[in-house]
């Protein structure tokens, strides 16, 4: 298109920005990243963050203690709404994990350069999110101390898990997901741990990082096997994340409830997971970038790319919303139709319409270049999408349950203080883990940055 | 008896690559190269064989998936057959999801363990760590080690040869501690 | 927190522990001193662990209901109906089921009290002896006895002896829910105080004029059985009966009616007068269609019709009922008149009069609680203060006990010997199943103190009564009486009646105009007049028409709610003259628009932890002049709200037709009208069916017979150790009933407001959705097709409940099952007590099936049809529930399943339920019905 004055006035497209700013050397990259952990003093901001997230974590512990003491009756769940916040939180958290894997695995396979500086903490985000997610179904059990009965092992009752139950599938999915994510993350970390070992001056740190680095020498043979193994992990993580969110979807679509029993759920949940995951990635990246001054490594291009992916997912979500309604009415099943109407017009209509506002309308702002270029705007959008996606899960669970087949059994759900305490507590614990991660582990992959820097400079020369 | 070998320091991957190629032309075979990141072309220069990590991963995946399916089939059909919702005992489609997850788990564990195994890791003590300059091997320096076990190795001549390669520093590595 | 009884106080605990020790000392068996005789049909001689059944009776308002009480190693645990007893025929209502808990209730009185302080029986007897000595000289003047209504021949005999010793002594009787108007009506009509005995199985046209004969009348259970018999589409066919009901507050009977007319209670009397006049032919035509239809039907069914009037109606109404029945030639066919089983006594009003007059020197209150349930205008409590010596003997230290100088703990009916008569006069012996748990004293033994027989035992006194009747062969007759639970041939014979000339009308409260508001009082369907307020099962049992638990409310029609802009749970102030109370509103479709109804029994001040302070006390507005309904009600919204715990929030079917119903003509034209595609041929499936070679248990529930009385719900609760959860938990929607009775209402039709009931237990689906989603195999199918829940395997994911389309699964969100000393002794030893965090549900009373199987295996044969009976089936007054083996071609359940009326609930989901329903058949008068 020909450049008019208006276009000239427009800010430069953020995705035009390079993936690495400034004239960096391997040394300067190393110093900047290791510095975050080794040199940088702990400012008031750091302690404030620790304080807030720590307090929320304490609330989490208290809520869990009370839960174990009294039973799930302290929540608002009832008959017929016997699933509530716990499962909502679960689906939400596990979905947030999705984007970490997506960024590190998919973009790795797609050889996306801009992945380099964000994959490390995206993966950390995955691990902590999946950890939170893994807790929820256990807390949700009537007898949480027997959660391991879902695992197949020879036991006194001579019983095995009931393999047809999506909950058992889920048990395996989440366990696998957590283990593979940790492997993937730790493996990517190995060379950097070696760097930390060598950069550390204090004995204790040298020892700790040295042990963690497993004696990595940067030997060409190391790199040889390492790269092939890393690529493989990326290769299995991609289908894994798809299967995990499909299984999560089965927990609903496998049931015969109107509003749950739907073939579209698996792709719906995968897209939704990526959507909310990317939103959380923005929510975390933007402040991180500001606090630790990582503008060289995390440029406008990164943020804009994440935002665009989010927009794309937003449209997939929108599509599923529409298709769900279409199938309900086109299918002509009276229960499906009632549930669809109850969603849009029932006692919980406000949830449905908030979801539509947050997940369908808000992301459209990303069409504007100015919005893409503004970290603040993107941060606000990401928060709204996070809220919207949590409410979406609430909407799916609640409206699927509160008015099902027999009108005599219809009943509403009202959360209690303890419902909210668990949600807030898990957020706090997640934040605390993340802060500690940044405090003790190189938050960006130095090896990959060096390599990226090399490629860029070579391309430049 | 010569020690572990001679460790030469270079300031760029290109210099390292050049040195490696030259060393092979000079007939050296027992070479070790160290870099802070995976340098393109280094594998070829050293003529490393194909990695066997993928094979291990494949076996791990097959073991996980196969074992997973057998576990489900055995427990549901043979060991504890029970009428659940009027479904047949061997309702195999329901066994697929867990099987897939276990397959992926097997592959991942095999890949990671295989990588460590083939790299001889973890190994916390190694002669190269004795060399002072090697601390920068994980930062911005590149090293070439010509092993003392190399038939063509000769303490003086190899040292001289390395100096011609414009190495920033050359360190004599002591023999491995028994 | 649960609002269940708080964990027992230390002192109570010690006391109860001592009681428990006493239990333990007898090997957990507290046998009554005198010999009692097991029910004939159980193996003689006690095998430990083998339950035994004893025939006895429970009374209410003086009317006996024969029951068989299950005793596990000496502990009474469950009440069943006595098939040999005319009032029961094997069934019971909800209240009888709850009374096993009354026996064990730790809140019962534990010791004699003097001025509220614990004392001894001896000190009481010596005090009384001295007192009586003083009275003797005056011929007993000043000695007053106040009891609840009783029909005990022994008590009557004892009173005669007392009257001989103290000619001037007086006996007054007080029942908050009395039947005086019925007898007064008969007196006006026939010149004798008689009571009607109805024969519903012979009546093809029944007119219930404010008469809840199916639930709230002596003999109700029997009525329900006879009524259902004459209503079975298969048995009665075209001769199926038709029920007209005119009532103010919808009742179980009104819900069963083919034509229902909501009217203010006062208007129903006018309706009856018009009816009588029209039948007599001396009145102009014209009236509502309902009226004309009834008139035509009555005229067309002389001798096989029946007009029934309710207790709440004045004597005139009952007189009219007598006259109409006589005119229609129904007397001797569908209704007989007998001498009233309860003993007549002087009124409470007369007693209060005497108390005020200062003539009452010594007052003995036996089993009555007038301080709570006396009409407000009598101001009984105030009058009681002026009595020099007042003694109360009752189960609880209740409102009256606290006002009396002395209190004696009374023995429960299951703890002492006595006798009683049923609604038809049939006599039976009440035998104790267990020695008094809390040291109570039999009423007869207390009375014996007055008659001077100090060392007489209740056992001896009752035997003495029957010696003269049984004559020389006493022992065998006595044995037979105890074994059968009835005294053969003791039913009152019908009295020959002749109409007298119409008596002059008496003044009564008539609504001033069409807009005047009327206040009605009705006994609560569960806690009656308040005497059962401390029984949690009954408190938590949904009231049939409101589905409310734990509270009463100002029940009123939607029209009235709109007029005063009221919504459910809004608190209103109600006043009649200068008496006023505040009560939350509950809107009831089909209620008479210009009236408000209050259920009695709530607002108890001293009824133990469970019963005290629940709901509002309607007695504050109830006066002796207008005990049942009064005009001139004032109503005003207070703007405050009180949460009310209902178990069902939605009462429309939403075109889903869980209850499928049709008229008789439709049924005769197309018998399988209720069947849908899924009922004709099961939907196709990829999977082969699971084979069931042995038994294949199944159940059918006949919606044409079900009257929605909720007896099944509470019977199941008693059988399966189902805990109550308390009001707060019910508010959260966590009630635990395994079989619930759903209530649906259709839009009012020309036949009046329409209500359907549907008992919903577990459907035991062959394709059980709950099982496939259980991750730990806690919900699995057994070899006979029962969907069993393995409690100790359940981890509580609640996925099964989500996936159950019938929502019959119940979850222990908290630790509901409490170890309350005393109460836990009632539990069924064959059923696990579930803990927090596990799912539970109906399993067709698996323990009963197992017992049946053991018996069958012993003499290796198949379990016979009808040998295993589920708790809900056993108790059902109308035999709507049939359980049995679907593989047995001769079984009743199989036959029912093959009826064209049979259909599966939500069958289109292909869950293959083992529990199916028989469509409801109504019989409204069609335009072309012959007049």
Query: Does B81 share its domain with B58?
Result: yes
Residue B69 lies in a domain: yes
Which residue, of B97, B118, B139, is where some domain finishes?
B118
Residue B81 lies in a domain: yes
pLDDT > 70: what percent of chain A? 95
Q: Is the peptide bond before A80 cis (omega within 30 degrees of 0)?
A: yes
Contact C387, C358 (CB under 8 A): no
Contact B140, B38 (CB under 8 A): no
Query: Does the distance separating the beta carbons of A220 and B35 come in below 8 Å?
Result: yes
The answer, for A152 touching chain B at a CB cutoff of 8 Å, is yes
A326 to chain B, closest Cα gap in Å: 29
Tokens of C471: 């004559």
The reported pLDDT for the residue numbered A9 is: 47
State the Cα–Cα distance between residues A159 and A152, nearest whole angstrom.
9
| Crossing angle for the helix pair A334-345 and A349-356, to the nearest 10 degrees | 80
Residue B20 lies in a domain: yes
Average pLDDT over residues A211-223: 87
Query: Does B103 share its domain with B69?
Result: yes
**Which residue does chain C place closest to A152, by CA atoms?**
C776
- Give C742's contacts in chain A (Cβ within 8 Å): 406, 408
Q: Cα torsion for A126, A127, A129, A130, to the nearest 10°?
A: 110
Q: What are phi and psi of A246, to 5 degrees?
A: -65, -45
The reported pLDDT for the residue numbered A337 is: 93
Query: Does the distance separating the beta carbons of B72 and A180 come in below 8 Å?
Result: no
- Give B135's contacts in chain A (Cβ within 8 Å): 198
Contact A190, A226 (CB under 8 A): yes
Quickly tell me which residue has 């209902």 as its tokens: C646
Residue A201 lies in a domain: yes
**H-type alpha helices, C105-152:** 121-137
The answer, for A309 touching chain B at a CB cutoff of 8 Å, is no
Domain that residue B164 falls in: 5-50+127-173
Assign residue A147 a region (left: φ > 0; alpha: ψ between -120 and 50; beta: otherwise): alpha
The reported pLDDT for the residue numbered C39 is: 55
C104 to chain A, closest Cα gap in Å: 28
**H-type alpha helices, A111-219:** 119-140, 166-199, 203-213
Question: DSSP string covering C850-873, please?
Answer: HHHHHHHHHTT-PPPTTTS--HHH
Query: Does the distance separating the beta carbons of A454 and B13 come in below 8 Å?
Result: yes
Contact C699, C883 (CB under 8 A): yes
A positions 138-157 inside 8 Å of C (CB): 140-144, 146-147, 149-150, 157
The reported pLDDT for the residue numbered A410 is: 94
Contact C519, C633 (CB under 8 A): yes
Query: Does B108 share its domain with B63?
Result: yes
For residue B176, is pLDDT > 80?
Answer: no
Query: Does B30 share its domain with B67?
Result: no
Q: How much is the pTM?
A: 0.90
Residue A154 lies in a domain: no
Q: Is the dihedral of CA C363, C365, C369, C373 positive or negative?
A: negative
**Which residue does chain B place closest to A179, by CA atoms?**
B105
Residue B74 lies in a domain: yes
Query: Does B80 share its domain with B58?
Result: yes
- Residue-wise pLDDT for B66-118, tens only, equals 999 999 999 999 988 889 888 888 888 999 999 999 999 999 999 999 999 98
Contact C181, C311 (CB under 8 A): yes
Residue A151 lies in a domain: no
- Give A237's contacts in chain B (Cβ within 8 Å): 108
- Residue-wise pLDDT for A284-333, tens only, equals 888 888 877 778 788 888 888 889 989 999 999 999 999 999 999 998 88
The reported pLDDT for the residue numbered B87 is: 87
C777 to chain B, closest Cα gap in Å: 8
The answer, for A32 touching chain B at a CB cutoff of 8 Å, is no
- CATH number of the domain where residue A286 is located: 1.20.1630.10
State the Cα–Cα distance between residues C118 and C128, nearest whole angstrom.
17
Query: Does the distance separating the beta carbons of C780 and B82 come in below 8 Å?
Result: yes
ipTM for the whole complex: 0.90
- Residue-wise pLDDT for A387-427, tens only, equals 999 999 999 999 999 999 999 999 999 999 999 999 999 99
Average pLDDT over residues A192-212: 87
Low-confidence ranges of chain C (pLDDT < 70): 1-48, 283-286, 503-512, 748-752, 928-931
Query: Does the distance separating the beta carbons of C648 and A166 come in below 8 Å?
Result: no
Residues forming beta bridges with residue C79, ordered by sequence position:
C69
**Which residue does chain B place closest to A452, by CA atoms?**
B37
Residue A3 lies in a domain: no
The answer, for C242 touching chain B at a CB cutoff of 8 Å, is no
- Residue-wise pLDDT for B21-30, tens only, equals 888 888 888 8
Which subunits count as partners of chain A given 3+ CB pairs below 8 Å?
B, C
**Which residue does chain A place closest to B80, by CA atoms?**
A159
State the Cα–Cα distance between residues A365 and C348, nearest whole angstrom.
82
Q: What are phi and psi of C263, to 5 degrees?
A: -140, 155
Higher pLDDT, A176 or C43: A176
B149 to chain A, closest Cα gap in Å: 18
Query: Does B69 share its domain with B86?
Result: yes
For residue B2, is pLDDT > 70?
Answer: no
Q: Is the dihedral of CA B153, B155, B157, B159 positive or negative?
A: positive
- Give B86's contacts in chain C (Cβ within 8 Å): 687, 689-690, 766-768, 781, 912
Query: Does the distance separating the beta carbons of A255 and C802 come in below 8 Å?
Result: yes
Domains identified in chain A, total number: 1
B positions 54-113 inside 8 Å of C (CB): 80, 82-88, 91
The answer, for A207 touching chain B at a CB cutoff of 8 Å, is no
Domain that residue A53 falls in: 20-141+160-460
Residue A148 lies in a domain: no
**Which residue does chain C place closest to A146, by CA atoms?**
C795
Question: DSSP string covering C142-178, please?
Answer: TEEEEE-----HHHHHHHHHHHHH-TT-EEEE--SS-
Query: CB C133: neighbour CB atoms within 10 A?
Result: 9
Tokens of A152: 């197949």
- Residue from C887, C907, C886, C911 nearest C896 by CA: C886
Residue B178 lies in a domain: no
Residue A317 lies in a domain: yes
Query: Does the distance separating the beta carbons of A167 and C799 come in below 8 Å?
Result: yes
- Give B100's contacts in chain A (Cβ within 8 Å): 239, 243
Burial (CB < 10 A; 0-12, 13-18, 19+), residue C42, is middle
The answer, for A429 touching chain B at a CB cutoff of 8 Å, is no
- Residue-wise pLDDT for C555-600, tens only, equals 999 999 999 999 999 999 999 989 999 999 999 999 999 999 999 9
CB nearest to C774's CB, from A157, A165, A401? A165
- Give A448's contacts in chain B (Cβ within 8 Å): 37
Query: Does the distance separating the beta carbons of B84 and C771 come in below 8 Å?
Result: yes
Task: Give CA separation, A157 vs A160, C838, C853, in Å.
Answer: 9, 17, 25
Domains identified in chain B, total number: 2
Average pLDDT over residues A163-172: 93
B positions 114-173 inside 8 Å of A (CB): 114-116, 118-119, 121-126, 128-129, 135-140
Query: Does B46 share its domain with B131?
Result: yes
H or E segment to which residue C561 belongs: helix C558-563
State the Cα–Cα distance between residues A174 and A244, nearest whole angstrom.
7
State the Cα–Cα distance between residues B91 and B96, nearest whole angstrom.
10
- Give A250's contacts in chain B (Cβ within 8 Å): 97
The reported pLDDT for the residue numbered C697 is: 95
Residue B95 lies in a domain: yes
Query: Does B138 share its domain with B157?
Result: yes
- Which residues have CB under 8 Å from C170's CB, separation 6+? C143, C144, C145, C346, C351, C354
Average pLDDT over residues A239-249: 92
B39 to chain A, closest Cα gap in Å: 8
The reported pLDDT for the residue numbered B67 is: 94
Query: Does B59 share its domain with B74?
Result: yes
Query: Does B26 share its domain with B62?
Result: no
Residue B97 lies in a domain: yes
- Give A136's contacts in chain C (Cβ within 8 Å): none
- Give A402's contacts in chain C (Cβ within 8 Å): none
Q: Cα torsion for C397, C401, C402, C403, to the nearest 10°?
A: 170
Task: Give CA separation, C502 vs C186, C270, C283, C324, in Å.
Answer: 12, 16, 16, 12
Q: Is the dihedral of CA C517, C519, C520, C526 positive or negative?
A: positive
Q: Is the peptide bond before A103 cis (omega within 30 degrees of 0)?
A: no
Residue B169 lies in a domain: yes
CB nearest to B51's CB, from A27, A172, A228? A228
Query: CB C780: neighbour CB atoms within 10 A?
Result: 22
The reported pLDDT for the residue numbered B165 is: 78
The answer, for A153 touching chain B at a CB cutoff of 8 Å, is no
**Which residue does chain B place closest to A195, by CA atoms?**
B138
- Residue from C451, C489, C481, C439 nearest C463 by CA: C481
Contact C753, C652 (CB under 8 A): no
Query: CB C14: neighbour CB atoms within 10 A?
Result: 11
Query: Does B44 share its domain with B66?
Result: no
Query: Does B100 share its domain with B140?
Result: no
Query: Does the distance separating the beta carbons of B95 and A197 come in below 8 Å?
Result: no
């Amino acid at each position: 298109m020909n450049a008019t004055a208006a276009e000239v006035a427009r800010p430069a497209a953020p995705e035009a920005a390079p993936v690495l700013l400034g004239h960096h050397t391997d040394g300067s990259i190393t110093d900047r990243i290791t510095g975050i952990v080794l040199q940088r003093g702990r400012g008031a901001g750091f302690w404030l963050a620790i304080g807030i997230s720590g307090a929320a974590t304490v609330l989490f512990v208290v809520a869990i203690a009370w839960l174990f003491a009294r039973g799930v009756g302290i929540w608002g769940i009832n008959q017929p709404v016997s699933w509530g916040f716990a499962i909502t939180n679960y689906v939400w958290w596990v979905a947030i994990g999705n984007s970490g894997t997506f960024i590190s695995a998919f973009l790795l396979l797609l050889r996306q350069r801009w992945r380099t500086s964000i994959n490390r903490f995206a993966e950390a985000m995955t691990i902590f999110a999946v950890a939170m997610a893994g807790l929820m179904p256990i807390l949700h059990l009537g007898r949480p101390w027997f959660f391991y009965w879902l695992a197949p092992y020879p036991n006194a009752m001579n019983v095995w898990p009931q393999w047809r139950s999506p909950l058992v599938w889920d048990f395996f999915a989440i366990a696998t997901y957590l283990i593979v994510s940790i492997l993937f993350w730790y493996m990517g970390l190995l060379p950097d741990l070696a760097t930390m070992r060598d950069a550390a001056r204090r004995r204790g740190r040298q020892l700790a990082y040295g042990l963690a680095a497993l004696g990595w020498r940067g030997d060409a043979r190391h790199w040889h096997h390492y790269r092939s193994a890393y690529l493989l992990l990326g290769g299995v993580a991609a289908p894994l994340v798809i299967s995990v969110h499909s299984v999560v979807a089965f927990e609903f679509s496998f049931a015969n409830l109107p509003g749950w029993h739907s073939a579209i759920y698996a792709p719906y949940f995968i897209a939704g997971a990526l959507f909310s995951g990317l939103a959380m990635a923005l929510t975390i990246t933007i402040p991180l970038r500001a606090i630790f001054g990582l503008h060289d490594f995390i440029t406008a291009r990164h943020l804009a790319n994440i935002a665009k992916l989010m927009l794309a997912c937003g449209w997939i979500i929108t599509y599923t919303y529409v298709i769900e309604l279409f199938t309900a009415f086109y299918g002509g099943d009276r229960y499906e139709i009632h549930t669809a109407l109850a969603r849009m017009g029932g006692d919980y209509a406000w949830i449905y319409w908030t979801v539509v506002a947050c997940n369908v309308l808000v992301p459209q702002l990303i069409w504007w270049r100015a919005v893409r270029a503004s970290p603040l705007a993107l941060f606000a959008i990401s928060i709204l999408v996070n809220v919207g996606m949590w409410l979406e899960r609430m909407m799916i669970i609640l409206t699927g349950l509160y008015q099902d087949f027999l009108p005599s059994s219809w009943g509403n759900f009202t959360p209690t203080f303890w419902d909210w305490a668990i949600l807030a507590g898990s957020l706090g614990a997640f934040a605390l883990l993340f802060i500690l991660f940044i405090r003790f582990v190189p938050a960006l992959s130095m090896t990959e940055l060096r390599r990226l820097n090399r490629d860029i400079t070579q391309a430049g020369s | 008896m010569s020690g572990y070998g001679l460790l030469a320091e270079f300031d760029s991957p290109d210099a390292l690559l050049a040195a490696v190629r030259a060393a092979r032309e000079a007939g050296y075979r027992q070479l070790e190269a160290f870099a802070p990141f995976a340098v393109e072309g280094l594998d070829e220069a050293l003529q490393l064989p194909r990695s066997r990590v993928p094979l291990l991963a494949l076996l791990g995946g097959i073991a996980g998936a196969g074992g997973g399916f057998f576990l489900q089939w055995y427990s549901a059909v043979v060991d504890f057959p029970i009428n659940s919702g009027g479904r047949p005992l061997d309702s195999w489609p329901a066994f697929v999801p867990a099987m897939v997850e276990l397959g992926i788990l097997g592959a991942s564990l095999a890949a990671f363990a295989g990588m460590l195994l083939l790299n001889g890791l973890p190994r916390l003590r190694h002669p190269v760590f004795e060399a002072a300059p090697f601390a920068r091997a994980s930062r911005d320096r590149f090293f070439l080690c010509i092993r003392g076990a190399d038939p063509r190795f000769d303490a003086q001549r190899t040292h001289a040869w390395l100096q011609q390669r414009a190495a920033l520093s050359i360190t004599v590595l002591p023999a491995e501690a028994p | 927190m649960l609002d269940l009884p708080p964990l027992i106080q230390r002192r109570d605990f010690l006391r109860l522990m001592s009681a428990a020790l006493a239990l333990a000392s007898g090997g957990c068996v507290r046998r009554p001193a005198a010999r009692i005789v097991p029910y004939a049909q159980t193996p003689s001689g006690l095998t430990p662990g083998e339950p035994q059944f004893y025939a006895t009776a429970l009374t209410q308002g003086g009317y006996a209901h024969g029951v068989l009480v299950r005793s596990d190693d000496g502990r009474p645990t469950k009440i069943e109906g006595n098939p040999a007893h005319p009032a029961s025929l094997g069934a019971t209502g909800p209240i009888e089921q709850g009374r096993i808990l009354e026996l064990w209730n730790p809140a019962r009185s534990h010791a004699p009290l003097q001025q509220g302080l614990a004392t001894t029986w001896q000190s009481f007897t010596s005090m009384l002896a001295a007192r009586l000595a003083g009275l003797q000289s005056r011929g007993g003047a000043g000695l007053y006895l106040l009891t609840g209504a009783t029909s005990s021949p022994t008590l009557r005999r004892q009173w005669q002896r007392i009257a001989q010793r103290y000619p001037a002594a007086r006996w007054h009787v007080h029942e908050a829910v009395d039947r005086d108007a019925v007898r007064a009506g008969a007196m006006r009509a026939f010149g004798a105080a008689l009571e009607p005995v109805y024969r519903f199985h012979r009546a093809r046209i029944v007119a219930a004029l404010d008469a809840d004969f199916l639930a709230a009348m002596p003999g109700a259970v029997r009525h329900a059985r006879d009524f259902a018999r004459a209503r079975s589409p298969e048995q009665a066919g075209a001769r199926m009966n038709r029920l007209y009901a005119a009532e103010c507050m919808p009742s179980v009977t009104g819900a069963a009616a083919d034509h229902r007319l909501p009217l203010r209670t006062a208007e129903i009397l006018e309706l009856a007068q018009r009816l009588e006049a029209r039948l007599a032919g001396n009145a102009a035509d014209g009236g509502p269609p309902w009226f004309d239809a009834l008139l035509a039907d009555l005229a067309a069914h002389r001798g096989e019709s029946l007009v029934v009037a309710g207790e709440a109606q004045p004597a005139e109404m009952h007189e009219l009922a007598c006259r109409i029945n006589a005119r229609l030639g129904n007397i001797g066919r569908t209704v007989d008149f007998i001498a009233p089983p309860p003993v007549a006594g002087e009124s409470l009003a007369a007693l209060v009069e005497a108390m005020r007059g200062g003539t009452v020197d010594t007052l003995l209150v036996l089993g009555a609680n007038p301080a709570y349930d006396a009409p407000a205008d009598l101001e009984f409590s105030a009058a009681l203060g002026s009595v020099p010596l007042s003694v109360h003997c009752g189960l609880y230290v209740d409102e009256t006990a606290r006002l009396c100088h002395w209190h004696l703990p009374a023995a429960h009916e299951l703890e002492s010997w006595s006798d009683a008569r049923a609604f038809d006069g049939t006599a039976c012996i009440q035998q104790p199943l267990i020695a008094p748990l809390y040291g109570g004293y039999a009423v007869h033994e207390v009375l014996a103190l007055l008659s001077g027989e100090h060392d007489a035992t209740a056992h001896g006194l009752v035997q003495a009564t029957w010696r003269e009747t049984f004559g020389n062969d006493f022992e065998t007759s006595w044995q037979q009486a105890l074994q059968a639970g009835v005294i053969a041939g003791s039913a009152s014979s019908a009295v020959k009646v002749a109409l007298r000339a119409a008596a002059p009308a008496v003044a009564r409260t008539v609504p001033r105009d069409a807009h005047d508001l009327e206040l009605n009082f009705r006994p609560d369907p569960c806690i009656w007049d308040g005497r059962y307020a401390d029984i949690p099962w009954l408190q938590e049992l949904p009231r049939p028409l409101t589905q409310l638990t734990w509270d009463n409310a100002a029940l009123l029609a939607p029209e009235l709610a709109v007029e005063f802009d009221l919504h459910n749970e809004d608190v209103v102030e109600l006043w009649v003259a200068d008496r006023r109370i505040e009560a939350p509103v509950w809107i009831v479709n089909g209620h008479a628009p210009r009236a408000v109804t209050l259920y009695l029994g709530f607002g108890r001040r001293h009824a133990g932890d469970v019963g005290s302070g629940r709901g509002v006390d309607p007695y504050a507005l109830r006066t002796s002049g207008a005990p049942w309904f009064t005009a001139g009600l004032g109503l005003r919204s207070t703007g405050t709200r009180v949460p009310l715990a209902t178990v069902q929030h939605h009462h429309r079917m939403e075109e889903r037709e869980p209850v499928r119903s049709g008229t008789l003509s439709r049924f005769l034209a197309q018998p399988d009208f209720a069947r849908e595609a899924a009922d004709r041929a099961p939907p196709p499936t990829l999977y082969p069916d699971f084979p069931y070679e042995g038994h294949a248990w199944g159940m059918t529930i006949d919606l044409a017979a079900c009257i929605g009385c909720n007896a099944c719900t509470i019977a199941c609760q008693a059988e399966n150790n189902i805990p109550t959860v308390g009001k707060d938990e019910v508010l959260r929607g966590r009630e635990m009933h395994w079989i619930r009775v759903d209530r649906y209402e259709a839009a009012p039709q020309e036949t009046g407001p329409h209500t359907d009931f549907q008992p919903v237990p577990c459907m035991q689906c062959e394709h059980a959705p709950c099982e496939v989603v259980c991750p730990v195999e806690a919900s699995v199918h057994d070899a006979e097709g029962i969907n069993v829940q393995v409690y100790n395997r359940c981890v509580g994911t609640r996925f099964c409940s989500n996936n159950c389309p019938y929502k019959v699964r119940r979850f222990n969100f908290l630790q509901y099952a409490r170890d309350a000393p005393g109460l836990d002794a009632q539990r069924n030893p064959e059923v696990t007590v579930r803990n927090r965090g596990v799912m539970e549900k109906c399993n067709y009373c698996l323990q009963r099936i197992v017992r049946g199987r053991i018996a069958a295996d012993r003499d290796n044969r198949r379990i016979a049809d009808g040998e295993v009976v589920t708790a809900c089936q056993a108790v059902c007054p109308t035999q709507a529930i049939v359980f049995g083996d679907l593989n047995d071609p001769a079984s009743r359940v199989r036959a029912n399943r093959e009826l064209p009326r049979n259909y599966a609930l939500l069958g289109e989901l292909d869950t293959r339920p083992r529990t199916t329903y028989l469509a409801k058949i109504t019989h409204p008068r069609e335009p072309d019905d012959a007049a």
